Chains A and B, each alone.
Chain A
Amino acid sequence: MEFFNSADLLHALPLIFLMSWATILLLVAAFARAASERIMPALAAAGLLLTGYFAARQFGNPASAFNGMFAADGFSAFITLLLVLSGLLAIALSSDYLKRMSLNRPEYYVLMLFSITGMMLMASAADLIVVFLALELLSIPLYVLAAFAQPEPRSEEAGLKYFLLGAFASGFLLFGIALVYGATATTSLTGIFIAAQSGLEQPLYLLIGAALILVGLAFKVAAVPFHMWTPDVYEGSPTSVTAFMAAGAKIGGFAALIRIFIVALPSISEQIVPVLWALTALTLIGGNLLAIAQNNVKRMLAYSSISHAGFLLMALVVYGQDAARFDVVASALFYLLAFIITSSGSWGVVIALEKQAGKGLEFSDYAGLGRTQPVLALAMAVFMLSFTGVPPTLGFAGKFYLFRAVLEGEYVGLAILGMLASLISAYYYLRLIVVMYMQTGNPKIHSERWLNLTTVGAAIGVVVLFFASEPLFDLAALALLHVN
C-alpha cells in the first residue's frame, strides 16, 4: 500500500497551502516582529484568499486522497469558502480592535490560520481519526486565542475553561471513536457504513459510539446541554476572537457532523434521530430562553449563537430521510452562510461600542444609538432582523430553506418548534432595536476604517444577498458530499 502519492497532495492543496502559509507567517512573526505587526493582517488575508481560490478550483471534481482518509469534494470546497469568508471578516474585525486593546501581537493571526486549517480538515475528514486530529487542530489555537488578552483575568479564565471543558469533550469523542471501531473494526467513514450494512455483532456499540461522537461535536457547536462553556468563554474572550469562534467553530463542528452522519451512520438514523431531536429542541428552547435573561450584549449574542446551533441541528435531524438529504446539506450550508455574515456584522457593532476592560457591552450602553449613529444602528437593526428571520434579510432565506427541508422530511413538530423558537428570539433581538431607537442616551463609538467597512458591508450583504438567495442556494446544493 502506497502511503500517499502526488495527486493526494494536489487534492489537499488548500489545506496544505494554508498550513504552510501559517507556518511561514509564524517565522515572519519571529524574525521580523516590528514589521509583522503592521503587515500581518494583510498577509493572513492574502493567504486566505489564495486558499479560497484553490478551494474554488476543486468544485466539481470530487476525489478522495490519502487512502480514503481525506475527501476533497464540493462539500469541503464550499465549507472552505465559508471559512475563508469568516476568516476574512474576522481579520477585518480584529486588526483595529487589537491595536485599540493593545493586543496587537502577530501570533494572533497565525493562530487563527491554524485553527482555520483545522476547521477545513473537519470538512474533509473521511476517517474518524482525522476527525479527531482536525478537532484538536481547530481547538487548541482557539484555547490560546480565548486567553489572548492575558493578563486580563476574564480572558485567562475563558481560555482555561474552554480548554478544560474542551478536553473533557474530546475524551467523549475519542471514547466514541473507540467504541465505533470496536463495533465495526474500522475508522473509515465509508468502512463504517459498509460494516453497518452487512450486520454487526454488537450494534449497541456503534449506537453508543455514535452518541459519544455526537457529544464531542455537540460541545464544539455549543448544543444544549453541552453549551455551558459558551457564554463564559464568549464573554471573556477578546470580542474579535468571539466573533471568529462563533462562526468558525460552528462551521467546523457542523461540517464534521454532517459528513459523519450522512456518510457513515445512515443505518442507525432511526435510533439516533430521537436523540438529535431532543438535542435540537433543548438547544432551541434553552438558547432562546436564556438569551432573554441577558443584559450583556455579548452574552446575549452568545446565547443567540447557541440558538442558531439549534436551528442548524434541525437540518441534521432530517439526515436519514432520503427525500430531504440533498436539502439537508444545502440548507445547512446556506444557513451557515447567512449566520456567518449576520454574526460577524453584529460582532462588528459590538466591537465598535466596546470600551476598555469589558465596558460598553450592556444593553443600556446601546440606548440612543439610532439617533447618534444612524448608520451603525441601522446595520445592527438589520442584523437583529436577520437573526430573527424577517425578510428581506439573508436570515429569513436561511430559515426558509431550513424549514422547507425539515418539512420535506415530514418533521412537522420540529418545524413548529423552530417557528416558536424564532418567535421567542424576536423578544430579545427586537429588544435591542427598541433600546437603540426608543431610549435616549449618548453612546460613543470607535469609528475605525476596516470595522466600519465590515459592518456596513455585512449589513448591505445581508439585504442584497437576500435577493440572490435562489442562486446561492443552488450553489450550496451543488456542494455534494462525495460518498464512496
Chain B
Amino acid sequence: MNYFDLVPWIVFLPVLGLLLNILIGKRLGERGSSLVAFLASGGAFVVSVLQWLSLSAHPEAHIVKFAEWINIGALQVPWAFRVDTLSVTMMLVVSGVGTLIHIYAAGYMHYDVRYKGDPAAYQRFFIYLNLFIAAMMILVSGDSYLMLFVGWEGVGLCSFLLIGFWFNKNPDGSSGMENSNAAKKAFIANRVGDLGLLLAMFAIFTLMGSLSFDTVFARAEFINPSYILAITLFMLIGVAGKSAQLPLYVWLPDAMAGPTPVSALIHAATMVTAGVYLVARSAPLYSLAPAAQTTVAVVGALTALFAATIAVGQNDIKKVLAYSTISQLGFMVAAVGLGAFVAGMFHLVTHAFFKALLFLGSGSVILALERAHHPIDGDHEQHHEEPKKGHAFDPQDMRIMGGLRKVIPTTYRVYLIGALALAGLPPLAGFFSKDEILTDALHANPLVYALLTAAAFLTAFYMGRQVLLVFFGEPRSHAAEEAVESPPIMTWPLIVLAGLSILGGLINFPGLHGLTNWLEHTLGHEFAHATEFNLTVALTSTLLALLAIYLAWTLYGREPLKAKAADPLAKRLGSLFTALQNKWWVDEFYGWLIIRPYQRFAAFLADVVDWRFWHDWVHDSLIARGFRGLAVFLANPVDLGVIDGLANGLATGARGLASSLSILQTGYVRNYALMVFFGVVSMLAYLIFFS
C-alpha cells in the first residue's frame, strides 16, 4: 500500500486553508480561522507522514506528475512532485514544525494583534502562514530546478509579507516604516541571491538541456568541470541569499521585525534552510566541483564564526537568536560544503526543533513582559495606545528582564532545554548533529574544523549569557517582576518541541545511523557515508561548551546584572564589544559601499538627468515649446486656412456635385431610358473602337 498519489495534497491542503480564510475568514472568527489554518497545515503533515510510510516500504524516489506546465520546444517542465527520502525529510520538518507553530501562533497572535491595535489582521496572518507552507512544500517537493525556484520565490514572497506584517509600525510598536523597510531589505538581499540561482538555472538548461533533477545529474558528468564550477558557485550566491550566509546575511537580523512565530517558522526552522536543501539536492553537481565545495564550506564556517561573535554583543533577545541562526546555518552550509550531506541535513532537522523552540520561547518571554506591562482585561477588549518612537517599552530587551525563571517556570524550563541543545551539550539533539559536523570537518578540512569549533564555543557562551540575563538574577524592571506565563495553547507546542530537542539525536544516533541509511536511498552511498563517533571531537566540544558556559556564569551569573548597569563584557573587551554590539558595522559598510553611492547615483539620474536635462530642457524647452510653435503654425495658417478650406471645399463640392447629379433624377421614365441608352452606346463605342 502506498500513498504517493496523495502527495499533491501537501500543497493543496494549505492552499485550501488559505482560500477558506480569504473567503470566509472574517465570519469564522479567530478560533475558526486558526483552526482552519491548523487543519490545513496538520493535514499536510499527515500526508507527509503517509509519504514517509510509503517510502519506508519502497525507498526509491517516486515522481508524481501532477500537471503539464511549460512545454516549449526543448523546455519541458511539468509540475511533478518528487517523493524521495531527502524531500520527505524536508516535508516532515516543514509541516511538523509548521503545524506546532500554527498552534502556538493561534495563542500568540491573539495578543499580538491587540497590542498592535488591529485585531482584523488575525486572519491575514494565518492566510500568509498557510501560503508559506504551500510555497515551502512546492520548494521541497519540486522535481526540477524550476519548480524548486517557484517555491523558492514563493517563500521569499511570504517572508516579505510576514516580516512586514505590521507594515506601518516600527519593531517597538510605534508608527513608522522600519518594519516595511526590513521587509524590503530581506526581499532585495534575496533578489541578489535569486539572481545567482537564476544564472545557475540558465547555465544548467543551456548546457544540459533540461531542468529536472535526474536528467541534469545524469548529464552533469559529461560537462566541462569548469562550467559545473560556475554553476555551483552561482548557486552558492542563491544559497547565501536564502540561507543568510556571508555576505548576504544582513537581512535576517532585521527580519526579526516579523511576529515571533514567523521568526521561528520561516527565519529559523524552515525557509532559511532551503539553501542547505538546495546544496544537498545538488550533491551530484557539487561533488564534480571540489573548488566550489571548499568555497561553500569556508563561507559556511566563516559565517558560523562571524555571526556567533555578533550574537555575543546583542541585547535584544530575538537578535541574539537571529545571529545564532545565521551561525547555525553556517554550520549546515559548511557541512554540506564538505560533502557531509547527512550531517548537514541532520543538523537542519535538530536545529529546526531547538531553534523553533528558542524562538517560540522568546516569544513567550516577550508576551509575558508585554502582558505584565499593559494587561488586557478579557480577551475581546481592544487595547491600543500608540507608543512614541524611542520611548516605547521594548519587551525584547534582555536588560530589562532577569529573574524570569520564577514567574514563568514552564517557559524557563523549555527554554533552558533549547539553549543547552543549541550549546551542544550531550545528550541533547544539538550535541549529536553538531558533533557529526565537527567530526566530518576534522576529516575533511582542519581550517573549517577550527572555525566551527570556535563558533561552537561562542555559541555556548552567548546562550549561557542569554539564559542568565533573562531568567536568572533579579528582575530589572516592573514588567519582569509581574511577567505572566503564557496560555497552554502556547506552552504545549513548546513542550513538544522541547521533547524533540531532547530526543532528536536519535534520528541519527551514532552507531545506528538512521538518517544516514534513510538518505542513502536518495544521495547514494557515495554522499551518505556513515560518520563514526569520534570521542576526541565529542569531548573537546563538550568541554569547550562547558567552559563557555562557565565563563558566561562568571560574568553574568555569579554577580547578576543590575538594572541600568553596563554589560560586564564591555569592560573586559572594551572597543571590541562596541564592535560586536554594532555588528562589526557591516550594515554601515554596505551603506557606504553600495547603498549610499547607489542613492547618489539614483539622485543624479532623477534630479540631473531626468528632471533637469530630460524634463526641463528636452521636454519643456525643446519639445514642448517647439511643438507649441509648430502647433500654432499648423493650426492657424495650415489647418484653418488650407486643410479646413480643402475639407469644406470637398464637402461642399461633393454636395454640389451630388445635387447637380440629382437633377438627372427627374422621375421621368423617358429620361431614365435615355440614360441607359447613353450608357449602352458609350460602352459599345468603346468596345468597337478601342479594343
> Interface on A for B, CB 8 Å cutoff?
160-161, 164-165, 168-169, 172, 204, 207-208, 211-212, 214-215, 219, 225-226, 228-229, 231-232, 271-272, 274-275, 278, 286, 289-290, 292-293, 424, 427
Residue contact A165 to B661, C-beta cutoff 8 Å: no
Number of A-B contacts (CB under 8 A): 78
CB-defined contacts of A172 to chain B, threshold 8 Å: 676, 680
Report the nearest A residue to B686, measured CB to CB.
A275
**Closest residue to B657 on the A side, CB-wise?**
A289
A164 & B669 in contact (Cβ 8 Å cutoff)? yes
Q: Give the complex CA separation of A231 and B664 in angstroms.
A: 12
Query: Contacts A226-B675, A274-B686, A290-B658 given; 12 further ones with Cβ under 8 A?
Result: A172-B680, A204-B687, A204-B688, A207-B687, A207-B691, A225-B675, A225-B676, A226-B676, A228-B664, A292-B654, A293-B662, A424-B654
Which single residue of chain B is at the shortest CB-CB distance from A175? Answer: B680
Q: Main SS of chain B's interface residues?
A: helix
The answer to whether B687 touches A292 (Cβ under 8 A) is: no
Nearest CB on B from A405, distance (A): 24
Decide yes or no whether B57 CB sits under 8 A from chain A. no
User: Interface residues of B toward A: which range?
Assistant: 20 to 34
Query: Chain A nearest CB: distance from B690 CB in Å?
Result: 8
Contact with A along B661-675 (1 / 0, CB 8 A): 110110101011101
Partner of B684, one of A211, A229, A290: A211
Known: A215-B679, A225-B678. A293 touches B672 (CB 8 A): no
Q: Name the B residues within 8 Å of A225 (CB-CB).
A: 675-676, 678-679
Inter-chain CA distance A225–B672, complex, in Å, is 9
Within 8 A of A (CB), among B32-69: none
In order of increasing CB-CB distance, the 7 nearest A-B pairs are A293-B658, A228-B672, A225-B679, A271-B691, A289-B658, A292-B658, A293-B659
27 intermolecular pairs with C-beta atoms under 8 Å apart: A161-B669, A161-B672, A164-B673, A165-B673, A169-B676, A172-B680, A204-B687, A207-B691, A208-B684, A211-B684, A211-B687, A212-B680, A215-B683, A225-B676, A228-B665, A228-B671, A228-B675, A274-B686, A274-B691, A275-B683, A286-B661, A289-B654, A289-B658, A289-B661, A292-B654, A293-B661, A427-B654
Tell yes or no: B596 within 8 A of A by CB: no
Structural contact, B672 and A165, CB atoms closer than 8 A? yes
Whole-angstrom distance from the CB of B688 to the nearest CB of chain A? 7
Say yes or no for B655: interface residue by CB 8 A criterion: yes
In the assembled complex, the CB of A8 is this many whole angstroms from the nearest CB of chain B, namely: 36
Closest-CB distance, A16 to chain B (whole angstroms): 35
A11 CB to nearest B CB, Å: 36
Query: Which residues of B, 639-665, contact A by the 8 Å Cβ criterion?
Result: 651, 654-655, 657-659, 661-662, 664-665
Interface string of B275-306 (1 = CB under 8 A from A): 00000000000000000000000000000000
Closest beta carbon of chain B to A286's beta carbon, Å: 7
Is there contact, CB below 8 Å, between B687 and A226?
no
B-to-A contact residues, CB < 8 Å: 651, 654-655, 657-659, 661-662, 664-665, 667, 669, 671-673, 675-676, 678-680, 683-684, 686-688, 691
Residue among B664, B678, B679 with most chain A CB within 10 A = B679
A164, B671: Cα distance in complex, Å: 12
Minimum C-beta distance from A285 to chain B (A): 10
Distance of A348 Cα from B201 Cα, bound (Å): 65
| CB nearest neighbor in B for A160 | B669
B655 touches A293 (CB 8 A): yes
Q: Which residues of B have CB within 8 Å of A274? A: 686, 691
- The residue on B at minimum CB distance from A212 is B680
Q: In the assembly, what is the distance between CA of A214 and CA of B676, in Å?
A: 12
Chain A residue at minimum C-beta to C-beta distance from B678: A225
Contact indicator A208/B688 (Cβ below 8 Å): yes
- Chain A contact surface mostly: helix
Partner among A161, A204, A226 whose Cβ is within 8 Å of the Cβ of B679: A226
| CB-CB nearest in chain A for B662 | A293
Residues of chain A lying within 8 A (CB to CB) of residue B651: 427
Q: Smallest distance from the beta carbon of B671 to chain A beta carbons, Å?
A: 8
Contacts of B672 in A (CB 8 A): 161, 165, 228-229
Q: Tell me whether A292 and B679 are in contact (CB under 8 A).
A: no
- Please state if B680 and A208 are interface contacts (CB–CB under 8 Å): no
CB distance from B517 to the nearest CB of A (A): 64
CA distance A160 to B672 in the complex (A): 13
Q: How far, in whole Å, are A228 and B672 apart by their CA atoms in the complex?
A: 6
Give Cα A267 to B651, complex, Å: 42
- With A212-B680, A293-B658: A232-B687 Cβ-Cβ less than 8 Å: no
Give the CA-CA distance A169 to B673 in the complex, in Å. 9
Q: How far is the CB of B55 from chain A (nearest CB, A)?
A: 53
Which residue of chain A is the closest to B680 with respect to CB atoms?
A: A215
Give the chain A neighbours of B673 by CB distance below 8 A: 164-165, 168
How many angstroms between the C-alpha atoms of A161 and B684 in the bound complex? 25
Residues of A within 8 A of B675 (CB): 225-226, 228
Known interface pairs A232-B667, A289-B657, A293-B662. Does A215 touch B687 (Cβ–Cβ under 8 Å)? no
Residues of B within 8 A of A204 (CB): 687-688
CB distance from A266 to the nearest CB of B (A): 16
**In angstroms, how far is the closest chain B Cβ from the Cβ of A330?**
28
C-alpha gap A318/B686 in the complex (Å): 20
Complexed CA–CA distance, A272 and B665 (Å): 28
Instruction: Select from chain B the residue with minimum beta-carbon distance to A225.
Output: B679
Residues of chain A within 8 A of B678, CB atoms compared: 225
* A198 to B: closest C-beta gap in Å: 21
Q: How far is the CA of A58 from the CA of B568 in the complex (A)?
A: 105
Assembled-state Cα–Cα distance A290/B662 (Å): 7
Q: Which residue of B lies closest to A292 (CB)?
A: B658
Chain B positions within 8 Å of A208 at CB level = 684, 687-688
Q: Which of B655, B658, B688 has the most CB of A within 10 A?
A: B658
Most buried by A among B671, B672, B684: B672
- Chain A residue nearest to B679 (CB atoms) is A225
Distance (whole angstroms) from the CB of A278 to the closest CB of chain B: 8
A278 vs B664: C-alpha distance in the bound complex, in angstroms?
20
Q: Which residues of A lie under 8 Å from residue B661 when comparing CB positions?
A: 286, 289-290, 293
Cα–Cα, bound, A180→B661 (Å): 35
Once the chains are docked, how many angstroms separate the CA of A164 from the CA of B667? 13
What's the Cα separation between A207 and B484 when bound, in Å?
Answer: 112
Closest to A215 in B: B680
Shortest CB distance B376–A (Å): 60
What residues of A have a CB within 8 angstroms of the CB of B680 in the complex? 172, 211-212, 215
